[in-house]
A and B are shown apart, each in its own frame.
Chain A
Amino acid sequence: MRNTRPYDPLAKKAQHNSTTESDAIRQRPKKIKSSKGVAGKEYIHESAIKHVLGSAIYTDDMPELPRTLHMAAGGSRFSRAKILSMNLEPVLASSGVVAVFTKDDIPGNSDIGPVFPGDPLFAENETLFVGQPLFVVAAETYEQACAAAELADIEYQELTPDITVEQGIKNQSFVLPEHTIESGDPDHAIKTSARTLTGSGYIRGQEHLYLEGHIAYVQPLEDGGVHVFTSSQHPTEVQKLVAEVLNIGSHKVIAEVRRMGGGFGGKETQAAALACSAALAAVKLNRPIKYRMPRKHDMERTGKRHDFSYEYSVGFNEDGIFNGIDMTLAGLCGCSPDLSQGIVDRAMFHADNAYFLNQSRVVGLSPKTHTVSNTAFRGFGGPQGMVAIEAVIDDIARELNIDPLTVRKRNLYRPGANTTHYSQPVEQLVLQDIIAEVENSSDYWARREAIKTFNTENTYVKKGLALTPVKFGISFTAQHLNQAAALVHIYTDGTILVNHGGTEMGQGLHTKIAQIVANEFSVDIDRVQVSATRTDKVANTSPTAASSGTDLNGYAAKLACDEIRTNLIAFAVEHFSVEKESVRFEDSCVFVGEESYTFAKFCQLAYMNRISLMAHGHYKTPKIYYDRASGKGHPFFYFANGAACAEVLVDCLTGEYKVQRVDILHDVGHSINPALDIGQIEGAFIQGMGWLTTEELLWDEKGRVLSNTPATYKIPTAFDVPREFNVSLYQSANPENTVFNSKAVGEPPLMLAISVWSALRDACSSVANYQCSPPLDPPATPEKVLAAIEYARAFQSNHS
């Protein structure tokens, strides 16, 4: 068995580097003082044994209460139509149906938009997208509800919809105003550059395809409130919206999440519609309601990753170094704002990826279309901005006939050129080092030469290679979300219960939090239980999103532990008349001078002396601010970094390809759990690879999703994983004061997969002896790869 030995860990506090910028390039953050404890070890996921036994309970697995009804929604047939009449009699008459509810039944607010209004629970007079709920039906069984929902007799007057980014822009239809981040004088810089290029491309969105579809199970409570079991990354928002829809106080709504079967951002805002609809029926009928969508509805009626179109004009010197860039990013927002402001902003923030753009203008557009409102998806716009700039780099490299890696390295943020277009300095200049390590471990240059030879010798099959970096900003760009709270209870037997605001969707958040808490008291992890996320335990939580789950909730839990520990130490000092320094928590014991007590005994003693054994910790991220009007500030606490080198083998007759080898080095700071972090990196990479290769999200001209089942939307299988797949954690601690000096890991590694896309483009380019940069809009399906090869062939024959 490979490397299952936990390495010896770590860390109380990082020592901040006080080096000059130029040392900072080559110098890693200092090593940190080691300490005994469970943070830093490869604990298995807290639910792993339950997962493999099938005993982990997801919302749909909960025993149903007597009189539970099942819900389904009748969806609009048209993307944009006036509803002339709606006859629901056939629905009511259908077998097993108990009731139907429409917008007229909503006692409170009917708009469930999370940030801005625009998301009516049920369609108002005009429909917004195909499948938009018009009404819901409650029936005795799931099948009866689903069958009945199809029976409504609805008269529509079809209107002309906008379906594409292009149509939205052409008709000047936007969900949010245009936004610009500008630095210096890009027009002048481009005009006066030795070389210029313009280009454009289109990046398709992505379906989350979490294996557990959306669900809500709502039980009415005796005081007019509801208990909502929801598949939500944001239970507080579900609580708030349910209360608003029902027109009751938030204090009467409990939203609870034990676990989700995957989220990936798809359950940040999208769970609310199910919860609110089910809550409405639960209160009206005084019966428990379960609302689970068939997969096809889930894929049709919930938001996805935004499609983005991009256009750029870039000026650079003969070495390929940016002088200035003017880039426009337009995200297909769908019918409402949802989270699109943050998503388009994040795409704009990441239009630099890891590179100093110099004089730059980044414009963000948010076209409105008559399609489902697009939403959060791992990376939150960042990946699209980064694909765009990596395309620019590849284009420059082909233009100058320089290896793309060289152009990448030359443009990295560096001393004297480390200010982003939104004026935040990049303080941790680690990418030079990370890239150098991957260059070395992947043997990039030798393989580059070997691949060139292979490509010369082979007509029908070509290889491609690319090494791309990732720099990803960590923090919610909405400042107020960067806070969290946790509740730690120690019982008199020395066991510890933790509740915090984060939700578990597979990422191992609860495992990491248990490790943090166990570490604080130097007890076994088995002694710590993390309970289901509940809005009645920790209030006003932020979504578990933006990779921030551990950074925020972990720190909050640590602060709660600190408080209890402080109280316990003060108690010991008084009770035993000792110095503070002589009280130590070690090996599941509390040492007081020469004496030692088991942790349980000590807790019992403290209790008998009327010392509180519970505490609430609240954390807010320091340092961050951002003025959106000027596009300037320090929106990110720090950046997470990484690099990947991918090699592909392409069939030039069909466009089929196989990813052969991938080498990854990724920076998670001081890892709280290396096994879980590796899992996040590998999983994100494969998910990103799917986005850029086989996952093709398609709509028809009427706004119907064509890729609406797992039969037509293809995420990677085990076969697609590169057979040579090396993943390493970069050995460094986060110099910022994060919990255990770790770094966020959820989203950043998704963008490592851009290396695969860039390698495919490299292989296509080789057909023209690397003299052209063929367009290859992701996802690079075999069809698109063959088109790129044909483009390169045509280029070759025109230029030889």
Chain B
Amino acid sequence: MIQLCLNGQWLELENSDPSETLLHYLRTKLGQNGTKEGCASGDCGACTVVVAQYSEATQSWQYHSINSCITLLASLHGKHIITVEGIAESYEGEASLSHLHPVQRALVEHHGSQCGFCTPGIVMSLFTAYENNGGAALTENQILDSLSGNLCRCTGYRPIVDAGLEAHQYSKAGQYSKVGHYSKQTTPEKTYTTETACFKTDTAQCIFPASEEELIQLITQHPQARFVAGGTDLMLEKTQAFKSLPQLIGLTHIDSLREITITNNNVSVGCGVTFSDLERELKDRLPSLVALFHRIGSRQIRNQGTLAGNIANASPIGDSPPFLLALDATLELNGPNGLRVVELNDFFIDYKKTELQPGEYIRRVLFEIPNDNFVQSYKISKRFEDDISAALLVVRWSVDNNYFKNVRVSVGGMASTAKRVVSVENALEGQPANQETISTAKALFKTELSPISDVRASAHYRITVIENLLMKAWLEFSNNHAAKTQCVNVWQPNVERKVSQQFGGDYA
């Protein structure tokens, strides 16, 4: 039986379908209707709720925002969930400002809601940022990061960001100290998440093995089972196509698969590791990869989605595969037939087709943090945040004695799989590091790639922009090594946030 702690109260979910979503359970079974469904695909954030985790290491609670609309209910077994109903002080009848959590109050006082439908999700995203920051003043970047998966169609966001910036001013002494008050009343001892768990109804079964041995056994017993870690893609089959997921094997109760190890620049990422986990580990070691992660999905998606899932999904776009290709990453694949190691470069076969054999899963992703001069990714999409690439370029090179060496050039959105563009790499490797070499090399993209036109971009644009991005990479690289005379990046404008609203008050 799934057991979870909702807003400080442990619940035993009898006869619940383990493959349903948390949002569905909240709204249809518990009548907790504060959390909204806007899209049922993790794109709008109206369904945002929070998973609270107690860290023994830091003796503190950590909060993760997630899209409840695409979260497998069974994956929350043993976890603490906080919804919009759970963060204010309890009240009877009509609530007043004094009952509100500081982020709620700040939103009200800054007129941060209009139609109010996105608001519960916005509240929970800001709550996450606020509580993880111990109630101290948040920076604009922290706020934007927390809101990256929340759409609002009414306000234009300015008052929402203002509310985030000023939420700390609304906390009162003794109230809402570091952690939300609900968590004080609850015990974090439940350790279900490291035990084997099996949830079953007549129509669906979901098993979470606690060890890899168990996992292999289960795969042998249930060869048709689907794997689930973050589930941010898998669950769309349920919520968008209304398909059933009768047989699931969860990978997130196995400690060894949730590990990130870094030794001598060698990084090993277990298949249960989320993007958010990796961001924390790599932000100083490989900032260019973390910068790309910031443009993959939203904070909510990255709190659940895994690096391995992004690879196994084999989207032609990525976004992490092109970067990992440039790092010469390898994969450990495991299954009933044993462990094997393949190079990522050999992993992608064709559109949505990979080296993975039935029953095999990606156990770990392995790569080395490069010590080359330059590794950078360039993502093109209509919208900066939470959008799927029209085209993605990753370049990596060293310049030794004014010659390019160790060159990798890889792309996403340009072919049926993410891939390295060997002709361009070859045109750079060993050649003089200058703009002429770049110009010659970039002309080769169109000989090797023939992208399609679709809703995201035309083939013509894709080729043009990939060529130009190589030039942009060179300009950025050479700018870093010379005086920065020219601005080449529109995303880092050197402008202070400055907003004002004049009500025009001289009527009196």
Residues of A within 8 A of B (CB): 1-4, 7-11, 31-32, 34, 40, 42, 44-45, 47-58, 60-61, 63, 143, 146-147, 150, 208-213, 259-264, 294-296, 457-461, 505-508, 649-651, 653-658, 660-661, 670-671, 674-676, 678-679, 682-687, 694, 696, 698, 706-707, 709-712, 714-721, 723-731, 733, 781-783, 786-787, 790
Contacts and interface: CB of A to CB of B under 8 A. Distances in A.
Nearest to B492: A658
A49 B501 contact: no
Interface stretch (B38-46, B318-326, B335-343, B423-431): B38-46
Given A7-B505, A212-B36, 8 more contacts: A1-B166, A146-B242, A211-B46, A211-B151, A213-B38, A505-B115, A508-B114, A711-B43
Given A7-B505, A34-B508, A458 B495 contact: no
B151 A715 contact: yes
Contacts of A712: 388, 455-456
Contact of B508 (A9, A460, A709): A9
B257 interface: no
Q: Which 7 A-B pairs have the closest CB atoms?
A: A54-B34, A506-B115, A261-B117, A51-B116, A7-B505, A686-B156, A506-B114
B111 A44 contact: yes
Main secondary structure of the interface of B (DSSP, over half): loop
A650 B34 CA distance: 41
A657 B489 CA distance: 9
A260 B501 CA distance: 27
Contact of B115 (A42, A212, A710, A718): A212
A211 B507 contact: no
A57 B38 CA distance: 15
Contact of B43 (A51, A683, A709, A723): A709
Interface string B489-508: 11101011111111111111
Interface residues of B, number: 103
A10 B508 contact: yes
B503 A671 contact: yes
A681 to B, nearest CB: 8
Given A7-B507, A52-B100, A786-B461, A261 B115 contact: yes
A710 B495 contact: no
A459 B144 contact: no
A53 B84 contact: yes
A720 B153 CA distance: 13
Nearest to A782: B380
A294 B114 contact: no
A719 B166 CA distance: 18
Contacts of A783: 390, 457-458, 461, 465
Contacts of B502: 726-729
Contact of A461 (B118, B469, B487): B487
B68 interface: no
B328 interface: no
30 contacts: A7-B508, A8-B505, A10-B507, A52-B104, A52-B120, A54-B33, A63-B31, A208-B153, A209-B153, A211-B44, A211-B117, A211-B118, A259-B115, A460-B475, A461-B487, A506-B114, A506-B117, A656-B491, A670-B507, A679-B114, A682-B156, A684-B156, A711-B43, A715-B151, A717-B385, A720-B385, A723-B497, A725-B500, A731-B506, A781-B382
B35 interface: yes
A721 B85 CA distance: 29
Given A296-B240, A717-B147, A679 B488 contact: no
Contacts of A661: 495
A141 B33 CA distance: 17
A31 B507 CA distance: 6
Interface in B385-406: 385-388, 390
B486 interface: yes
B490 A706 contact: no
B96 interface: yes
B83 interface: yes
A295 B38 contact: yes
A443 to B, nearest CB: 13
B75 interface: no
Contacts of A460: 472, 475, 486-488
Nearest to B44: A710
A774 to B, nearest CB: 16
Contacts of A729: 502-504
Q: Which of B119, B386, B388 has the most CB of A within 10 A?
A: B119
A455 to B, nearest CB: 11
Contacts of A55: 34, 85, 95
B337 to A, nearest CB: 36
Contacts of A150: 242
Interface in B16-42: 27, 31, 33-41
B268 interface: no
A49 B116 CA distance: 10
Contacts of B144: 718-719
Contacts of A781: 382
Interface string B154-193: 1111111110001001000000000000000000000000
